[in-house]
Structure 1
Amino acid sequence: MSAVVGTRAEAGERKSGLRLAPEMSVERLALIAALYFTVFCNGPLFAAVAATGALHGLSGWLTGLSLFVMVAALSVLLLGLLLYRPIAKPVLIVLLLVTAVALRFMSEYSVYLDTDMIRNVLHTDGKESGELMSWRLLPSLFLYGVLPSLLVWRVRLTRRPWPRAVLVRTAVLAAALAVAGGAALLSFQNLSSLMRNHRELRHLITPGNYLMSLARVAVEARADKNRPRVPLGEDARVIGRPLGAKPRLLVIVVGETVRAQNWGLNGYARQTTPELARIGPINFREVQSCGTSTEVSVPCMFSPWGRHDYDRARIKGSQSLLHVLEHAGIPTLWRDNQTGCKGVCDGLAFESFEHGDDPRYCDANGCSDEVLLQGLDAELARRPGDMVLVLHQLGNHGPSYYKRYPPQFERYRPACKSDDLGQCSLGEIVNAYDNAILHTDAFLAATIRTLAERSGRDTAMIYLSDHGESLGENGLFLHGVPYAIAPKTQTRVPMTMWLSPGFTASRGIDGVCLRRRAQLPASQDHLFHSVLGLMQVRTAVYDPKLDLFAGCERPR
């Protein structure tokens, strides 16, 4: 009976001329959706292309037309591979909603959805993602996601016998491929030059950008899971230690999102590092990061290959600096106030404070970095000899810079008090960011004081931020821009060292020489080899040319 009623209702709808539930083929739906994505969701792509100057003049108009047709045809090809009648509408609705969110971040923060950015998204925890999801997302989500999804849901998809369905789909895919190729040939020289010189533009073609990047990340993750880590530095050993020398404790502080430009010790107009300035550590003024995101920089800086010989698969598939130290008999401990050690400490001692509940340092927003120093006495007592301790900060993690410091550190006002940076002026954003650096300065000074009080060990600290940050310069916010086009605000980071007098003496380090060396360019590539050199660990993977201490040793 219900089927009869439904048939009559459909017949009445057709007779009255109403199209409240239009009927169409999956291929036609894919074509309409492809045009929608091209026209309404690829604004960042065409804006970026226009910024290169490729659309100027008559030939520029031809280039723009060719690019538009090519993107539309490739979208048809992509949707033609994804949409099949039983799942077509749910899949397309998911794409519409995800694309609406992606469009918001690409437009507001100039985000490029490459594989590194997708990895960042997948490894973002609830607190971090909550800071990025503000109410200003809702209009974009409704306009570009919810509204077209409602229209898609109303569509009735026609049925075809499967032989005819296969034939039609094959013809559509072939036609889409032919149109894309023809469009490319129409302005081949200009388009090939554009994509060759601005390879990052492909990460703005929506929704293909995040779908292709997600596929690559999935393949990499599967490969990483099935591939055992290659042992590294199994020949490592400690050499040249003087008889009766005290055990050594080296603390490596991995900073988060602090850029060199705003680091007080680097000559910034504001003194954002007043406590460190009073201590007078060794400060490296020009240091280059390995990546523009934690997912890239942290594994890279703890590897022997670094940026100069970067190979993600090799880095992720091999043991790290910490494993080499363990092979040499030096125990390690990673204490984390972030989202993990990114594989650097796999199989080694690890403590997480990401969801800590100590009321002195933790609240609903997470824990302040001081929590990393709590309970250290017990941990150090269990490791009485040489030891390397890593403290991974929450630091200046954005966009909620104002949540990264207690009220007493709010020296620069007015500070941005919104998770949505678009609600604040550039000055307010910088104020909040600089206040967060003041808090890192206090944390590092407290770490140094803690080390200085340990008379039973020779102690040292190396601080190195993982990557920088854009605070609105040239329309860029946050970080994660592809390295090839990333601004210096994202690739220049602070690095500061402190060595106790006992460590300097027992190791034979010439402090004056090291301070001179700190005036020369350095990079995260130096960390691996410098730590081995400082701890007097020798192994075949150690490179003295990348050891910052190697040229500053006093003759014994």
Structure 2
Amino acid sequence: MSSVVRSRPQFLGVLKQQFRQFLAVGPEISVETLALVAASFFTVFCNTAFFREVIALGALHGARGIGTGASLVVMIGALNMLLLCVLLNRWTAKPVLTVLLLVTAAAAHFMSQYTVYLDADMLRNILHTDGKESGELITLGMLPSLVVLGVLPSLLLWRVRLRRRPLGRALLVRVGVIVLAGVVASGAALVSFQDLSALMRNHREVRHLITPGNYIVSLVRVMRDDQAGRDRPRTPIGTNAKVIGRPAGARPRLLVLVVGETVRAQNWGLNGYARDTTPQLRHIAPINFSNMTSCGSATEVSVPCMFSPYGRAHYDKDKIEHSQSLLHVLEHAGISTLWRDNQTGCKGVCEGLAFESFEHATDPQSCTAEGCMDEVMLKGLSEAVANKTGDMVVVLHQLGNHGPSYYKRYPPSLRRFTPTCETPELGKCSRDEIVNAYDNAVLHTDDFLARTIRVLAEQSGRDTAMIYLSDHGESLGENGLYLHGVPYAIAPDTQTRVPMVMWLSPGMASSRGIDQACMKRESAEPVSQDNLFHSVLGLMQVKTPEYDPALDLFRGCTASG
């Protein structure tokens, strides 16, 4: 034992010496040559998702397509060269390139496996995802890409010795190389200008598959927007809002808004799906809106949008993110609000208002070390409501069907569709296994909503209602797409069509004069998340200039008009 212990420092010393020798024997090259090698590597080996998509669009078809493809390769390589020449110098080249190699390897893996477009919205989603969710994406399946595209090139990089140049000469060479890279990129674009301009004009989203430029540019935009957001207060809206038409002594109202996660309309039983994924709701028979469209294809877009008065019809990202929300309007009107969260926060919707997170809850019945089932948000809900007088709106933000680990989103008792995909590496599962796990998770949302309705039905001192609306849908392998977050302009229906249901207690329906049979007849008409803001204000009888009666889903079936 003692000899083994004594040999460990010797072994580490030998290993350290060998590593130093490994690094010392590499060739000596200039930073510009290193940038050229790295740019070529990124272009050829890390952009397979981009070229696969361009081929699928037919842009490289025939003899003319070969020329277009060659122009794309040269143009992307030159742009990568230009980018690296801006980022690298003799002191930063190795650490910066090491980070770029590792991050680009991960990006290439996710783009190839899930067809992820790394635009600013997607990068914002990634940065705002908590450790538990992001940990599900880090699997053994990404190890080959990480090793081949990241680790091995990094080891070779550290063998290289970078040539020293006098400062004046180094600046002159660098400026010349940058100018040359710009000329080459422009020339390559001009050679196939007609085809390339048509590709980028008709399919602008493909540029978000060109790495590493996609995530670098998106990161800069996110950081810029976040900095602007920190320095800019939210614009107040509805400051003069007030509740109207309520007789003295009227029973207080309680509305629960359930913000769903990643449930798509196509797998919603109440919408006519072949499987009954909503058996408990079918028995309850709420108002089901079967033709509902989301504002975005990701949480970071949809949640702020659905709680704003602007919506998708007048979408203005900057205006939405820097304005108060529906919840603030309700507070201005004297209606208490509470956001209960089993996700990654309220995305600014509840800023400055009552907020409870269940991310680290320890309830033994609902939680494990990996997180909590959504029903944890119902714990103590009645007590929280009892502590408030007057009208109240509570938001329950679900973990829902958040992928790719659908199999973790439901208890064993709801594992009804089998066999299921039991790994976040969706490429290892058949599509039937993926859909089975996903549908079981939809069953859990059905169970959660039924539980919520039962809690509301027991509120004998209040008129109650529930509105459920999923934030966005999900791709389950259709056309090679998985998960969500595809740019909205090209997002498939599976990511933008979502379920929505409403339940009203007899007291709520009566006090508001709402004809539920009328609403059920109208529920097949096209609606969108734009309707949520105005429908909630209408239901709670809040008068404010921001309210648009044309978007109030209750108005046409309410006795008062």
Give the TM-score band, short-chain normalised.
Answer: over 0.9
1:120 to 125, 138, 143: 125
CA distance in 2 between partners of 1:364 and 1:395 (Å) = 17
CA distance in 1 between partners of 2:284 and 2:537 (Å) = 25
1:412 to 414, 417, 420: 417
Matching of residues 338-377 of structure 1 within 5 Å:
338-377=343-382
Give the conservation status (yes or no) of the 8 Å contact 1:242–1:506.
no
User: Does 2:438 correspond to 1:424?
Assistant: no
User: For residue 526 of structure 1, what is the aligned residue in structure 2?
Assistant: 531
Aligned residue-pair number:
540
Q: Is the deviation greater in 372-381 or in 441-450?
A: 372-381
Deviation at 1:20, TM superposition (A): 3.6
The one-letter amino acid of 2:155's match is: L
Give the conservation status (yes or no) of the 8 Å contact 1:109–1:476.
yes
The one-letter amino acid of 1:145's match is: G
SS in 2 for 1:308: coil
1:443 to 438, 448, 454: 448
User: For residue 544 of structure 2, what is the aligned residue in structure 1?
Assistant: 539
1:67 to 53, 69, 72: 72
1:9-35 CA-to-partner distances (Å, cap 9, x unmatched) read xxxx9xxxx994110000010001000
Give the conservation status (yes or no) of the 8 Å contact 1:293–1:466.
yes
TM-score, normalised via structure 1 length:
0.96
Deviation at 1:203, TM superposition (A): 0.3
CA distance in 1 between partners of 2:109 and 2:164 (Å) = 36
Matching of residues 49-448 of structure 1 within 5 Å:
49-448=54-453
1:493 to 485, 498, 502: 498
Give the conservation status (yes or no) of the 8 Å contact 1:334–1:349.
yes
The one-letter amino acid of 2:129's match is: T
Deviation at 1:243, TM superposition (A): 3.5
CA distance in 1 between partners of 2:557 and 2:245 (Å) = 16
User: For residue 10 of structure 1, what is the aligned residue in structure 2?
Assistant: none
Give the conservation status (yes or no) of the 8 Å contact 2:24–2:159.
no
User: For residue 13 of structure 2, what is the aligned residue in structure 1?
Assistant: none
CA distance in 2 between partners of 1:54 and 1:520 (Å) = 38
Deviation at 1:244, TM superposition (A): 2.9
The one-letter amino acid of 2:191's match is: L
SS in 2 for 1:154: coil
SS in 1 for 2:38: helix
Deviation at 1:378, TM superposition (A): 2.1
CA distance in 1 between partners of 2:50 and 2:392 (Å) = 50
SS in 2 for 1:418: coil
- Structure 2: stretches of 5+ with no match in the other structure: 1-20
Give the conservation status (yes or no) of the 8 Å contact 1:38–1:68.
yes
User: For residue 38 of structure 2, what is the aligned residue in structure 1?
Assistant: 33
Give the conservation status (yes or no) of the 8 Å contact 2:474–2:483.
yes
User: For residue 467 of structure 2, what is the aligned residue in structure 1?
Assistant: 462
1:489-548 CA-to-partner distances (Å, cap 9, x unmatched) read 000000000001110010011112111221101100000000000000010111111111
Give the conservation status (yes or no) of the 8 Å contact 2:375–2:448.
yes
The one-letter amino acid of 1:483's match is: Y
Give the conservation status (yes or no) of the 8 Å contact 2:267–2:439.
yes
SS in 1 for 2:26: coil
TM-score, normalised via structure 2 length:
0.95
The runs of at least 4 aligned residues of structure 1 exceeding 6 Å deviation read: none
Deviation at 1:377, TM superposition (A): 2.3
The one-letter amino acid of 1:268's match is: Y
CA distance in 2 between partners of 1:554 and 1:186 (Å) = 67
User: Does 2:486 correspond to 1:481?
Assistant: yes
The one-letter amino acid of 1:178's match is: V
Q: RMSD across aligned C-alpha pairs, in angstroms?
A: 1.1
Give the conservation status (yes or no) of the 8 Å contact 2:264–2:495.
yes
Give the conservation status (yes or no) of the 8 Å contact 2:115–2:480.
yes
Deviation at 1:555, TM superposition (A): 4.1
1:180-222 CA-to-partner distances (Å, cap 9, x unmatched) read 0000100101100000000001101110000000000000000
1:85-133 CA-to-partner distances (Å, cap 9, x unmatched) read 1011100010000000000000000000000110011011111111101
SS in 1 for 2:291: strand
CA distance in 1 between partners of 2:41 and 2:402 (Å) = 35
CA distance in 2 between partners of 1:303 and 1:71 (Å) = 39
Give the conservation status (yes or no) of the 8 Å contact 2:101–2:153.
yes
Give the conservation status (yes or no) of the 8 Å contact 2:270–2:288.
yes
1:48 to 53, 56, 60: 53
